[in-house]
Chains A and B, each alone.
Chain A
């Protein structure tokens, strides 16, 4: 059967398709650059990455803030039976993932150039970007699965080709572990499409499947949810499926770590939102307590493990386990606040942890070690780097006024509304976060530098320019997150309503503030107010 390509929606420019295709073209072009001109490969790759970033900003600019559903849909039929189509669409949830991807890739390319074989490095990165964007935008289960799998290949080669001493083991572990999860998802995807069809025409269209609930029995839905949950759980990663992550993060080249933490982990949490809550509302409600438990476990367990790490990069990697725990907690709180916070936290984690990995990479470039014990007193030799590190660290700790706080707070608040005591336990993660990061900071930046650390050069101008956009985002989203939340919220509200209409679950409503005069009638303040 040959694929049938036929444009259904003619007319407007297929912006979303362009967002996905442009980096893929870039990868091809970069791969075709002459071997003798490696610097050309970099320029070409950065150009494509920046152009893609510009396109994602165009998506943001063209996004209708108040619309809850999918926008800018590109729909191209691909396979007739079973019905598979190239459907791309964006809503308030995927919008920010797309923008985050668009921003982080050029930064990762500029902030952490490889030491050898530039050409394939950049080509793989661009292919990776195409895969990530495709996964975030796909509204077809089959295309999503395809993109979800495609990203493994470039990341495998990035880790095994440009990583550090244990790269082969780490790359293999990463690849096999995620493939193991994906196998379940493949079965789940196919089973879902065929079971949902009930003998009729089979379709992989996400909206068709998700909007027609009640076809599957709850029992079947729960099993299918689990098959997806294993794939996403490995990707997030959920404790205890997380051990590929510290190895992969630590061994990957800096650029790979930034993308791995900043973008690829979000495929898991995004997957839970899009293919968990949306497709399986009944099962999501059913499994919510278990997922929240895993989220809280991740928050505390990840933080404790991070505290005891001797390797700075590994410490940051474990902090990701804790941060992603917050996102899971917010997502499965099934409240508007929690999911809002979860989406916000996905952006925050991408920015803050991406920045932390860049900084750790810059330290490694100078000192050729990631071992905390070998670093000391760097604040004296590199005050600007120390200042940037402090800001990013405080953002990661969740200091109000910086981005991390808003997301973390909303996830916890949302979780509190449905799972009160779990949230109270999860807040201890806030204490632990300050413990492991400040302790690491003290050991690396405070104290009197020994001979090896005394002359470490400070950030160069190019490096400062790379960090600048991240710093701006960190501060802006901490002070004024409203524009971001305004775009997230309609879609989140729609998702929560979708769950409510298809299950017995009802979002707890916070009590309305009573008008002051009515309350004043019963209180002692009446005497004063009456005057």
Chain B
């Protein structure tokens, strides 16, 4: 399998090419099956390569394959090559595995969409890009994948492009990511000028010899890129809006795989981080912890079922950066894997609910779905327990490991992580209770949302009313858009909310839920605490992270203590949420769901106001300067020349008598001059 590494990304690429050429002819559901098959095939090849690496990886646990020289220029050379090591193959396994499940799910979810084949075309291109990102053996190939997934994300967020809000969300995602890409590109320049190569092998071997300042700059700039891609403060704003895309996209791109690319990159360059100044890991840990807490508070007050999960994703990614900053690289990857399982599960579960409810996304109009959607409900609850950190579900183990390392880094960081864990348990419990338990509130009018049920009205209100309502209208727009396109296609959707008949989804959708639920339960076994033999992932990743991984000096008693405190905190949060949302304590709920949370601390709207206000005025000023000053000067010169020419032209009148007059006048002057000379 050593020579077949290229097949891992090539299969989805072939799928993309085939779907691009024949997708329309294949139609539904063949296009979907083709897309699923290529990704599943890629998963099988990945398994084979994984086994080869285990048995036959050599001393350095690396398999490489170089296809051709991509960019040769002078001393600069970047190959299109792959690096298979424990880190990249672990990523590949869960990327292809989860992607295959989500492809399968999409066959059911996208049923009836007029651009069904286009969806799978993009989805396959995404998997290809993601695999290039992970498998690339140098920063430039990773950047190829990095930008590729960004472009696919742009395509699919604005998949239902008829709605302006979706189009805006896609553009916002791309442009915000590009801010991070600025850091990535600059980092590659610094790397090349310091090391003369962009290959990971060269970087890892050369990192320890880098001057501290150079290592710091490189790591910091790559972190800027990671902040953009992984939606951390201050660049997280695109991710909540990205929920405008179809739900499988939210699950695959914006929860399980693409957004974890930043974490992957940080782990990949851990030797550089280890060689950089000490304040940098602290900065990374702080950004992660603050983002985790910040996003969790916002998730408390969201009513859109997908928005809760979106902010939750931002928050969980914050945990991963907290782990990176604390030197818990294994913990970061561990949490990335468990998170991929339970968050993909939660998103797909939410998609199943949305599908079953006839494109309803507002949790205030749900409730009591447990009996009607048993599989969805059961799997969703598994996801909930996993993300809340209840043992023995996977989230407990990975989150616990991160928090222990955070404690070792600084108890303050631990405290932030701890509070976030409690908030996570609370808002996820709120979601489960609102959606699956309590009374059925299907189709009931909701105060704000009732004002703008239809897409066009939402657009109008966005244009007319003040900023706060506009945000709400934007929240509603994707829902309405989906409803419109779905209803237009096959009458499957429901235009009137009063007429809701929740139902369980088809097997193509529930099977992935079940598989992911199993994963969310057992993935914790990858890295059990205390017993060295059970730390499978830690041993497996050891060759990759040996430079950077911090060593735990925390006593076993403290570890147990921290774990118990977190679990107790989560259980208390469950109880509280039960009290508030199942016992109908609306007054308490209103206390918790502060407008400042619901509006995301006004961060996004402030940026939008700045970009639309001073930012736009600045751009306008430059444009005015160009028109008026620079071009004005050009035209001014032209006018001047023409004016001067006009005046001179008067002399060239064409009348002989005028010329004669001139000649006569000149003659008189000449004669006068000569005379004066003769006389004096």
How many A-B pairs fall under 8 Å by CB? 191
Does residue A442 face the partner (Cβ distance < 8 Å to B)? yes
Does residue B178 face the partner (Cβ distance < 8 Å to A)? yes
In Å, the complex CA distance between A242 and B633 comes to 12
Given B69, B164, B205, which contacts A520 in the complex, CB threshold below 8 Å?
B205
> Is A428 touching B164 in the complex (CB atoms < 8 A)?
no
> Is B192 touching A510 in the complex (CB atoms < 8 A)?
yes
Given B163, B170, B188, B620, which contacts A308 in the complex, CB threshold below 8 Å?
B620
> Is A442 touching B147 in the complex (CB atoms < 8 A)?
no
Does residue A301 face the partner (Cβ distance < 8 Å to B)? yes
Does residue A379 face the partner (Cβ distance < 8 Å to B)? yes
List CB contacts (< 8 Å) of A210-231 with chain B.
Answer: none
Does residue A410 face the partner (Cβ distance < 8 Å to B)? yes
> Is B622 touching A428 in the complex (CB atoms < 8 A)?
no
Chain B residue at minimal CB-CB distance from A318: B626
Given A177, A308, A399, which contacts B147 in the complex, CB threshold below 8 Å?
A399
In Å, the complex CA distance between A531 and B179 comes to 43
In Å, the complex CA distance between A520 and B205 comes to 7
Does residue B587 face the partner (Cβ distance < 8 Å to A)? no
> Is B171 touching A439 in the complex (CB atoms < 8 A)?
yes
Residues of chain B contacted by A447 (CB below 8 angstroms): 161-164, 167
> Is B196 touching A435 in the complex (CB atoms < 8 A)?
no
> Is B69 touching A513 in the complex (CB atoms < 8 A)?
no
In Å, the complex CA distance between A177 and B637 comes to 11
Interface of B is mostly: helix
Residues of chain A contacted by B196 (CB below 8 angstroms): 510-513
Task: Write the A443-482 contact mask toward B (1 if CB under 8 angstroms, else 0).
Answer: 0011110000000000000000000000000000001111
Does residue B464 face the partner (Cβ distance < 8 Å to A)? no
Count A-side interface residues using an 8 Å CB cutoff.
77
Given A340, A414, A431, A439, which contacts B178 in the complex, CB threshold below 8 Å?
A431
Given A173, A176, A409, which contacts B71 in the complex, CB threshold below 8 Å?
A409
> Is B208 touching A337 in the complex (CB atoms < 8 A)?
no
> Is A430 touching B193 in the complex (CB atoms < 8 A)?
no
Does residue A61 face the partner (Cβ distance < 8 Å to B)? no
In Å, the complex CA distance between A335 and B189 comes to 14
List CB contacts (< 8 Å) of A503-524 with chain B.
Answer: 508-514, 516, 519-520, 522-524
> Is A523 touching B205 in the complex (CB atoms < 8 A)?
yes
> Is B71 touching A406 in the complex (CB atoms < 8 A)?
yes
Does residue B204 face the partner (Cβ distance < 8 Å to A)? yes
Residues of chain B contacted by A293 (CB below 8 angstroms): none
> Is B76 touching A510 in the complex (CB atoms < 8 A)?
yes
Does residue A417 face the partner (Cβ distance < 8 Å to B)? yes
Q: Decide: A308 near B162, CB < 8 A? Known: A416-B193, A514-B209.
A: no
> Is A410 touching B71 in the complex (CB atoms < 8 A)?
yes
> Is B182 touching A523 in the complex (CB atoms < 8 A)?
no
Q: Decide: A305 near B626, CB < 8 A? Known: A413-B189, A511-B194.
A: yes
List CB contacts (< 8 Å) of B177-231 with chain A.
Answer: 178-179, 181-182, 185-186, 188-189, 192-197, 199, 201-202, 204-209
Distance (whole angstroms) from the CB of A450 to the closest CB of chain B: 12
Residues of chain A contacted by B76 (CB below 8 angstroms): 337, 410, 413, 510
Residues of chain B contacted by A243 (CB below 8 angstroms): 626, 630-631, 634
> Is A428 touching B182 in the complex (CB atoms < 8 A)?
yes
Residues of chain B contacted by A377 (CB below 8 angstroms): 161-162
Q: Decide: A481 near B634, CB < 8 A? Known: A308-B623, A400-B147, A412-B185.
A: no
In Å, the complex CA distance between A302 and B147 comes to 23
Q: Which of B76, B207, B209 has the most CB of A within 10 A?
A: B76
Distance (whole angstroms) from the CB of A437 to the closest CB of chain B: 10
**A–B complex contacts, Cβ < 8 Å, 29 sampled:** A335-B74, A340-B73, A377-B161, A400-B140, A400-B144, A401-B147, A409-B140, A410-B71, A412-B185, A413-B76, A413-B188, A424-B186, A427-B186, A442-B158, A442-B168, A447-B167, A448-B163, A479-B70, A480-B70, A485-B71, A511-B196, A512-B196, A523-B208, A523-B271, A523-B547, A524-B547, A525-B204, A528-B60, A528-B546
Q: A380-B161, A480-B70, A489-B72 are in contact. List 9 more A-B contacts (CB 8 A).
A: A308-B619, A336-B75, A340-B73, A420-B189, A427-B185, A438-B171, A446-B161, A489-B73, A523-B208
Pick the 8 closest A-B CB pairs, nearest first. Answer: A336-B74, A446-B167, A308-B623, A400-B144, A243-B631, A416-B189, A523-B208, A510-B196
